[in-house]
Structure 1
Amino acid sequence: MKPAATHARPSFRRGDEVTLVIDRLAYGGRGVGRIDGYVVFVPDTAPGDRARVRLRRVKPSFAEADLVEVESPSALRTVPPCPHFGPCGGCVWQHLGYADQLRAKESIVRESLAHLARLRDVEVGPILEAADPWAYRNKMEFTFHPDGTLGLHRRGAFDQVAPIDACLIQSAEANGVLRVVREWADASGLSRYDARDHTGLLRQVVIREGKRTGEIMVALIATAPAVPGIRELAGRLTAAAPRVASVLLGVNPGPSDGLALTTVAVIAGRPYIMEELAGLRFRIGLETFFQTNTAQAERLIEVVETLAGVGGGETVYDLYCGVGTFSLALARRAGRVYGLEIVTPAVDAARENAALNGIGNAEFIPGDVRRVLPDLVSRVGSPDLLVLDPPRSGAGSRVMRKIIGANAPRIVYVSCNPTTLAPDLGELVGAGYAIRTVQPLDLFPHTHHVECVAILDRGALPQPA
């Protein structure tokens, strides 16, 4: 028998410059080009670009490169409207029209299912676009830098910040708040946190906005609880922006911005703002997880409700329930809803939100899904519907085995990462579930991120070999 043909990897080395044509976009935002079948990932490119690139990482099956020059630009390219695009690490696709971004995201969902889980015949619905791809974010985090800058991290650099005067994916009101904070910080003379030597006082400013209620929260994050002049800042904010309902001081003395706050103090107003979503009211605190695109989050709930098909009397499990976004929406028709969440403050918030909305048939349980789920099944039996919305890393094999063991006839899987959704769905299919459809939604215009809702029904279990 003749051996299968193999493609030898071109003999490239780090630092080599090559010219290639970009044929598509990959999850992560980079363009994909090929040299005799050898894959090269290149940021800041568009399908159709002929680009000269410099290899910076060379592997047997692929390489990563930096863009040197676009020798012949793609017809898909457009002028980014934001003057900060490029150095800023926020948006990665402003050089593409919105329709082309949507096509790329839908393709990424299909490719992830096919290549990562061999799910090639799955029905993928047309992506649900945002009505307005600008000024959509209800939360932004801006970082102080020792050089006096206040802005967003530069792409790929934890210790560098691109100055941002105004961000086009947050509202004009939020940009006005950012301007007030910048002016106060410049006049205060207070030190800014240095991510390399871990010194300095001012770290970040977080702006949260209730898109439906109009309320705004402003939180200054510092390394110590004593910040001279912070009450003056609160006065400036409430005078300049009457919609500011909450001014907070959060303390993070640790080395990473991602660490939990040790304390949160109310400087003015309330410790939370109110928001409305799909006919429900929510209290949003500084550390509360809440979808950052309010308008598209409402469409996400509509999709989940429609696909779930809850008609009355069902028992529903909601895994990774957060503050109860799906739990409370589904509880309006279900018989009983059980929300599982490992973050205790989120569980407390979910219980408060249930009481706020007069919902008495939802129970929220703190703990690791892997451990709590089997106990819940033992206590109340298998659910009629199981919903899960895990973090970007996905649920993973150990949790998926517990979900399969829960024996729900229908599963709705909500995901913000198609590359982790695919293998998790593959496990469910292997256990006898059939995917009815996968519905992508764009909650994050101008980024590579894409939300998906998958609905699965239990079929005949696979027979042993």
Structure 2
Amino acid sequence: MAKTQPKKRNANKNTNRKPQQSKAAAAEKNYPVQLGQIVELEITGLSHEGAGVGRYNGYTLFVPQALPTEVVKAKVVHAKRNFGFADLVEIVQAGAQRVAPPCPVYDRCGGCSLQHLAYSEQLVHKQQIVIDNLRRIGGFEIGEGGITVHPTLGMDNPWRYRNKAQVPIGEEEGGLVGGFYAEKSHDIIDIDECLIQHEANDEVVNAVKRIASKLGIQPYNEEAHTGLLRHVVSRVGAKTGERMVVLITTEDFIPQRDLLVEMIVQQVPGVKSIVQNINDRKTNVIFGDKTVTLWGNDVIYDYIGPIKFAISARSFYQVNPEQTEVLYGKTLEYAGLTGNESVIDAYCGIGTISLFLAQKAKYVYGVEIVPEAIEDAKRNAELNGFENVIFEVGAAESVMPRWKFEGVRADVIVVDPPRKGCDEALLTTILQMKPEKVVYVSCNPSTLARDLKVLAEAYEVVEVQPVDMFPNTGHVESVARLDFKIK
């Protein structure tokens, strides 16, 4: 097979490289490779981040964009005692699972790490990530006599699925640019089209860049902490087509604000809401504390299955609505509701899972530490006419014991924590409340495995269903079903 040269990365961009070391420092530590050395190696695996894994004289190297079964040449850029990192220089022998990434900036943008891997193989890889973590961290047996880990549920069309874009705005050669950061840097890759974004988000971002440039609105300079426009956030209701434009600025005052709003309304079809968020801090956090509506409604609406949701500028709402319906459907299946159960939904957010459960539960109790999310949850329950749902602000590990004291018996507890997993006190609370079932929705296989190991003291982990919420990236979501052990 002909040798393939990978696309050259922009020399001014800090992409996937680890911090550089001096060659002398690497030599002093007597590593089997030298920095800058070009080595040829066979790729035998894929890391959880999507990098190829190979060995050179027994020394492990991680090579982004390389795939299993391939023979590659790679340049060593960072070395540690037991492993190092190398940049792909040449594909000597390509693997059968390699495909041509359709995105023109794939080799520079840090948004997708697996576009070069056939989608069917991405699904296999993500199932294996879950299996590996359950074995290594949780100590679980997989397969016969252990946990069943089902094949990953993927999409028929794994493109154009994201209903939300958060795009940093900058300046390049006197012009306004907006796109996504190069991998492991804050260098903005100017993008007019992102193949995993809903087309509406591309239209919104391009319109704002064009309008802001015409009106002379200054982009934010991260290093100098100057300028006005930091980010453009676009949200779209996949089922309704409604669009929200959020302008993240460093101060309240926007020059020619009325004209800016008028031009956005004229040039963005379906826009229902234009919102400004003010973030004057020197921080990587996108949103500030103050949000004002400049035009239209405070929210847009969308549906997940039959349930309608109001989405504000700062609402947490899953970015892949098609796969969210799959994920929540599996959650509802694992809960095994008959209409007589009381369910607690910890980390309930704006009530998305709670309202799915309320369709078949007697009562659902949702708890969330973010007050604004609980207000959204209450509004969404009212919007859909659910009267069997109670939402409360607070830490789940504090609120749930009080509910128990007040007579609330949880037949099922559902948790959907952030990437860091469940608070240790919450796991203790679950073990003390002894629901018949626990359904764990996870966005991080490593913390899932860690928490299941704790819950396995009283629960049998029956099955885990990976769901591909983020095609062409290394991320995977999972739903785990736990049944109380009969003593």
TM-score (norm 2): 0.89
Q: Tell me by how many angstroms 1:453 deviates.
A: 0.3
Q: Tell me by how many angstroms 1:27 deviates.
A: 1.6
- Work out the CA distance in 2 between the residues paired with 1:372 and 1:62: 45
Partner in structure 2 of residue 25 of structure 1:
46
Does residue 279 of the first structure (1) align with residue 306 of the second (2)? Answer: yes
CA contact (8 A) 1:250 1:264 kept: yes
Does residue 232 of the first structure (1) align with residue 253 of the second (2)? Answer: no
Name the aligned partner's letter for residue 436 of structure 1: V
Q: Deviations 1:228-257 (Å, cap 9, x if unpaired)? A: 133323222222233111111111111224
Partner in structure 1 of residue 475 of structure 2:
449
CA contact (8 A) 1:342 1:367 kept: yes
State how many pairs are aligned.
451
Name the aligned partner's letter for residue 298 of structure 2: P
Q: Tell me by how many angstroms 1:169 deviates.
A: 1.4
Does residue 82 of the first structure (1) align with residue 103 of the second (2)? Answer: yes
Name the aligned partner's letter for residue 397 of structure 2: R
Matches within 5 A, 1:214-363: 214-258=241-285, 260-363=287-390
Partner in structure 2 of residue 5 of structure 1:
none
Partner in structure 2 of residue 415 of structure 1:
442
Pick from 58, 63, 69 the counterpart of residue 42 of structure 1: 63
- Work out the CA distance in 2 between the residues paired with 1:458 and 1:152: 45
Other structure's SS at 2:167 match? strand
In structure 2, do the counterparts of structure 1 residues 237 and 190 end up closer, same or farther at CA, with 3 Å as the change threshold? closer
Q: Deviations 1:62-112 (Å, cap 9, x if unpaired)? A: 323333333332222111111121211111111122112111111111111
Does residue 128 of the first structure (1) align with residue 153 of the second (2)? Answer: yes
Pick from 153, 168, 179 the counterpart of residue 151 of structure 1: 179
Pick from 391, 401, 404 the counterpart of residue 364 of structure 1: 391
Q: Percent identity?
A: 37
Name the aligned partner's letter for residue 238 of structure 2: K
Q: Deviations 1:314-353 (Å, cap 9, x if unpaired)? A: 1101011000011111112211111111111001100111
CA contact (8 A) 1:296 1:442 kept: yes
Does residue 373 of the first structure (1) align with residue 400 of the second (2)? Answer: yes
CA contact (8 A) 1:317 1:338 kept: yes
- Work out the CA distance in 1 between the residues paired with 2:78 and 2:401: 44
- Work out the CA distance in 1 between the residues paired with 2:469 and 2:272: 26
Q: Deviations 1:398-449 (Å, cap 9, x if unpaired)? A: 43222222211210000111121111111111x1211111001111111011
- Work out the CA distance in 1 between the residues paired with 2:87 and 2:405: 54
In structure 2, do the counterparts of structure 1 residues 399 and 51 end up closer, same or farther at CA, with 3 Å as the change threshold? farther
CA contact (8 A) 2:43 2:68 kept: yes
CA contact (8 A) 2:230 2:248 kept: yes
In structure 2, do the counterparts of structure 1 residues 89 and 273 end up closer, same or farther at CA, with 3 Å as the change threshold? same
CA contact (8 A) 1:124 1:439 kept: yes
CA contact (8 A) 2:109 2:182 kept: yes
CA contact (8 A) 1:382 1:407 kept: no
Name the aligned partner's letter for residue 434 of structure 1: E
CA contact (8 A) 2:427 2:451 kept: yes
Q: Tell me by how many angstroms 1:372 deviates.
A: 2.3
Report the more deviating stretch, 16-25 or 118-127.
16-25
Does residue 438 of the first structure (1) align with residue 459 of the second (2)? Answer: no
Q: Tell me by how many angstroms 1:304 deviates.
A: 0.8
- Work out the CA distance in 2 between the residues paired with 1:446 and 1:351: 35
Q: Tell me by how many angstroms 1:187 deviates.
A: 1.5
CA contact (8 A) 1:86 1:92 kept: no
Q: Deviations 1:91-150 (Å, cap 9, x if unpaired)? A: 111112211211111111111111121213220111111122111110011111132321
Q: Tell me by how many angstroms 1:188 deviates.
A: 2.2
- Work out the CA distance in 1 between the residues paired with 2:274 and 2:227: 21
Name the aligned partner's letter for residue 104 of structure 1: H
Does residue 63 of the first structure (1) align with residue 84 of the second (2)? Answer: yes
Partner in structure 2 of residue 52 of structure 1:
73
CA contact (8 A) 1:278 1:301 kept: no
Partner in structure 1 of residue 189 of structure 2:
162
- Work out the CA distance in 2 between the residues paired with 1:400 and 1:435: 15
CA contact (8 A) 2:123 2:151 kept: no
Name the aligned partner's letter for residue 41 of structure 2: L
Other structure's SS at 1:192 match? coil
- Work out the CA distance in 1 between the residues paired with 2:61 and 2:435: 42
Name the aligned partner's letter for residue 404 of structure 1: L
- Work out the CA distance in 2 between the residues paired with 1:76 and 1:233: 47
Q: Tell me by how many angstroms 1:375 deviates.
A: 2.2
Q: Tell me by how many angstroms 1:182 deviates.
A: 1.4
CA contact (8 A) 1:48 1:76 kept: no
- Work out the CA distance in 2 between the residues paired with 1:265 and 1:412: 37
Does residue 104 of the first structure (1) align with residue 104 of the second (2)? Answer: no
- Work out the CA distance in 2 between the residues paired with 1:59 and 1:394: 29
Q: Tell me by how many angstroms 1:374 deviates.
A: 2.2
Q: Tell me by how many angstroms 1:40 deviates.
A: 2.3
Which consecutive unaligned segments of at least 5 residues does structure 2 have? 1-29
Q: Deviations 1:182-224 (Å, cap 9, x if unpaired)? A: 1112212222112222221110100100001110101111111
Partner in structure 2 of residue 138 of structure 1:
163
- Work out the CA distance in 2 between the residues paired with 1:382 and 1:395: 21
CA contact (8 A) 2:246 2:313 kept: yes
Report the more deviating stretch, 290-299 or 45-54.
45-54
Q: Tell me by how many angstroms 1:279 deviates.
A: 0.7
Partner in structure 2 of residue 212 of structure 1:
239
Which consecutive unaligned segments of at least 5 residues does structure 1 have? 1-8
Other structure's SS at 2:149 match? coil
- Work out the CA distance in 1 between the residues paired with 2:407 and 2:108: 53
Other structure's SS at 2:48 match? coil
Report the more deviating stretch, 370-379 or 191-200.
370-379
